[in-house]
Amino acid sequence: MTTLLLVRHGETDWNAEGRLQGHTDRPLNEFGRRQAARLAEELAGERIDAIWSSDLARARETAQIVAARLGLPVEFDTGLREKSWGNWEGLTAGEREQVEYEGESTEAHRDRTLAALRRICELHPDDTVLVVTHGGSLRRVQAAVQGFAEPVVENCGRWLVAHEEGVFRAID
């Protein structure tokens, strides 16, 4: 059984402004860096065998801050990226009401995210793997595992999933 500790990246300025980021490569803000450092301290006593991350700056930086504290390298998989929001990237909720959506489907995002997690599980049987990803990606996994998505996971929030015999299941 592989245990996946799924973590949403730390805060960015666009998170604070309520703007969709998608594939737009925004860095962490100072608060986001403090969130990542706090996460690193919280995880210092836990078993983590490997760290994987989305390659986008906000996830990459979060993973690298944790990895530095844990003394582990970070591997990257583009499949862990947030949904590509296309022409909605950078827009607030009010601005999106004025624009017809043209971007990645939720189903395609879900399939891409789950495929990335399966690849990671194949490489790490019986390991505990920290996976730094995005809020939307976490919601896609939750919906696939539980049949529904939880409210958006806060920045640097966590969700535990097991993968065994090809099946994902939530860990309480």
Confidence of residue 6 (pLDDT cuts 50, 70, 90): very high
pLDDT at 172 over 90: no
Q: What is the pLDDT of residue 76?
A: 98
State the catalytic residue, choosing from 11, 61, 75, 82. 82
Confidence of residue 149 (pLDDT cuts 50, 70, 90): confident
CA–CA dist 143, 126 (Å, integer): 24
In the chain, the percentage of residues whose pLDDT exceeds 70 is 99
Average pLDDT, the chain: 96
Least confident range from 24-33, 109-118, 119-128, 144-153: namely 144-153
Q: What is the pLDDT of residue 99?
A: 96
State the catalytic residue, choosing from 9, 109, 124, 163. 9
Q: What is the arithmetic mean of pLDDT over 92-105?
A: 96
| Burial profile 9-41: b = 16 or more Cβ within 10 angstroms, e = fewer | bbbbebbeeebbbbbbebebbeebbebbbebbe
Ramachandran area for residue 147 (φ above 0: left; ψ -120 to 50: alpha; else beta): left
Q: What is the arithmetic mean of pLDDT over 110-139?
A: 97
The answer to whether residue 82 is catalytic is yes
Q: What is the pLDDT of residue 152?
A: 81
The answer to whether residue 9 is catalytic is yes
pLDDT at 151 over 90: no
Domains and CATH numbers, the chain: 2-170 (3.40.50.1240)
Q: What is the pLDDT of residue 150?
A: 83
